Amino acid sequence: MEVLVPFSSDRPKSRLSGTLSSSERESLARAMLADVVEAIAATGESPRVLATEPVGVAIDTDAEVPVTVDERALTTAVNDAIADPTSTPNDPGDPRRSVAVVMADLALATPGALRQLFDADGDVVIAPGRGGGTNALVIRHPSFRVDYHGASYLDHLRIAADVGATVREIDSHRLATDIDESDDLAELLVHGDGRAATLLREAGFELDRSRGRVGVRRE
């Protein structure tokens, strides 16, 4: 299965600007991308980065990670990649083409969590994010297309119903947690052990439990 990983280098992680400098946000975004791609590769599936500009992805495997540069909006770029007429079905006995889309900021994703997503039955398999977003998809229905504007989880349920696609939802903390806000960094320090979590720790971040909830502070 081909797994698309959209990545935008334009003002990465701007909502973390109150916590991280511009260079730190860029480094974190690239570290999370590498963590996600490496977790996908560990499942035996084939990651392909869909980036807004050329980007190198170094992971701890011998496999080369292909990068397709597409400067267009996320929805347009992903839909064109899904509909790629040069692609062939994953299984010669099944005319359906399977393709997955996994966001580049799912730094808590593990091969096990991703395998649960990839192996689930359904024309469309959805891993919703917090706040109504869609963090990961598996698409097996030829007429299904994505729409990442606004509450995309609800939009994707509607689109699936419109084309007659069956839907399976994956309830996974690791796939539901995208690193967008300062509070999300605490999740990364608690549950992460990859490049992104290491980067935060090396930058002096630690857990802060002094206000009755878990947050982060800089040493």
For every one of its 219 residues, what pLDDT tens digit does the chain have, with 9 covering 90 and above?
A: 999 999 998 878 888 988 899 999 999 999 999 999 999 999 999 999 999 999 888 666 666 789 999 999 999 999 999 987 565 455 555 556 799 999 999 999 999 999 999 999 999 999 999 889 999 999 999 999 999 988 999 999 999 999 999 999 999 999 999 999 888 999 999 999 999 999 999 999 898 887 656 678 887
Distance CA 131, CA 211 (A): 24
Q: From the CA atom positions of the chain, what is the Rg in Å?
A: 17
Distance CA 40, CA 130 (A): 21
Q: Between 3.40.50.2000, 3.10.310.10, 3.40.50.300, 3.90.550.10, what CATH number should domain 2-180 receive?
A: 3.90.550.10
What residue ranges do the domains of the chain occupy?
Answer: 2-180
Distance CA 123, CA 136 (A): 14
The 3-state DSSP class for residue 85 equals coil
Cα–Cα nearest to 171, from 135, 128, 138: 128
Global pTM? Answer: 0.91
Q: Under a CB-based contact definition with an 8 Å cutoff, are residues 28 and 21 in contact?
A: no
Reading the block at residue 105, the tokens are: 């900021």
Reading the block at residue 56, the tokens are: 């190198």
